[in-house]
């Protein structure tokens, strides 16, 4: 088709397209949903067990705080990555957040080693947390996936990775609340490993579920 004819056709097809809210506003909306989910899970745990068994040491709070901040900035980065011309370096903040989370867990592992004389790697498996994080990640991540799909799939792999990281960071907090662990390295290996594997899978398949709309039929 001739370009001039295409322009005329697009002009005939044009409908109202309300501008998307800024990525910051959309991040606040999604964070509201994710925190509501966490609160509901925590309340259910208290209702059923009267206590979650969590001992909120300062280091534990740093870990969970870093995970939450990683989730929020990763969601912000994912939502910005579907806006053409937005800052392309937004992924730096999630990387810093994840780094702080990992370092806090490593430091906690050193403290475990001093206290118990072991890192607890062989003593504790964590398959229930893998399931919990996957399900929690789906519940928290589904609205985020819907939100990023409304944007432009400029870098589908990176967007999918960031969205998965955001959802799984919150799911990690949920898993830590539901099933407290004795050893920090277990959390790093099982929760971190689950988050890394699912986020990598999302990055690899991102171009399949974050595609340009079917332009040929327009």
Partner 1 sequence: MDESPAPDEHLAHLMARAQQGDSTAYVTLLRAITPRVRQLVRARRRFLSESDVEDVVQEVLLSVHAVRATYDPARPLIPWLSAIVRHRLADAGRRDVRRGAREIGVDDLDVTFQAPAANTREEMFGDPDALAQAIQALPPGQRQAVELLKLRELSLKEASALTGMSIAALKVATHRAITSLRRALRGIDEG
Query: Helices 127-149 and 156-178, interaxial angle, to 10°?
Result: 140
Residue with tokens 């830590």: 176
Distance from C-alpha of 23 to C-alpha of 75, rounded to nearest angstrom = 9
Max distance between CA atoms of the chain, in angstroms, equals 75
Token representation of residue 4: 């001039």
Shortest spacing between CB 142 and partner 1, in angstroms: 21
Binding range to partner 1, per CB under 8 A, among 2-10, 39-47, 166-174, 183-191: 2-10
Is residue 85 a contact residue for partner 1 (CB under 8 A)?
A: yes
Contact criterion met (CB below 8 Å) for 191 and 164: no
**203: nearest Cα among 154, 167, 165:** 165
Among residues 158 and 181, whose Cβ is nearest to partner 1? 158
Is residue 43 a contact residue for partner 1 (CB under 8 A)?
A: no
Among 42, 54, 83, 197, indicate the residue that binds partner 1 (CB under 8 A): 83
Is residue 50 a contact residue for partner 1 (CB under 8 A)?
A: no
Shortest spacing between CB 79 and partner 1, in angstroms: 11
Binding range to partner 1, per CB under 8 A, among 3-11, 25-33, 55-63, 98-106: 3-11
Ramachandran quadrant class, 15 (left: phi over 0; alpha: psi -120 to 50; beta: rest): beta
Token representation of residue 66: 């870093």
**By CB under 8 A, what part of segment 184-213 binds partner 1?**
212-213
Binding site for partner 1 (CB under 8 A): 1-3, 6-8, 10-20, 22, 82-86, 150-152, 154-155, 212-213, 215, 218
């Amino acid at each position: 088709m001739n370009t001039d004819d295409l322009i005329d056709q697009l002009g005939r097809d044009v409908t109202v397209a309300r501008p998307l809210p800024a990525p910051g506003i959309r991040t606040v909306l999604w964070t509201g949903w994710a925190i509501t989910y966490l609160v509901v899970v925590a309340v259910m745990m208290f209702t059923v067990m009267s206590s979650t068994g969590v001992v909120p040491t300062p280091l534990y709070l740093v870990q969970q705080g870093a995970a939450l901040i990683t989730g929020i900035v990763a969601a912000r980065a994912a939502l910005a990555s579907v806006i053409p011309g937005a800052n392309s370096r937004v992924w730096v903040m999630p990387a810093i957040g994840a780094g702080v989370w990992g370092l806090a867990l490593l430091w906690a592992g050193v403290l475990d080693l001093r206290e118990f004389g072991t890192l607890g790697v062989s003593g504790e498996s964590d398959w229930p947390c893998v399931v919990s994080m996957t399900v929690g990640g789906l519940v928290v991540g589904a609205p985020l996936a819907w939100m990023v799909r409304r944007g432009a799939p400029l870098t589908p792999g990176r967007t999918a990775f960031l969205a998965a990281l955001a959802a799984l960071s919150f799911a990690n907090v949920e898993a830590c609340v539901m099933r407290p662990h004795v050893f920090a390295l277990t959390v790093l290996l099982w929760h971190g490993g689950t988050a890394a594997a699912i986020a990598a899978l999302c990055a690899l398949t991102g171009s399949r579920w974050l595609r340009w709309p079917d332009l040929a039929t327009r």
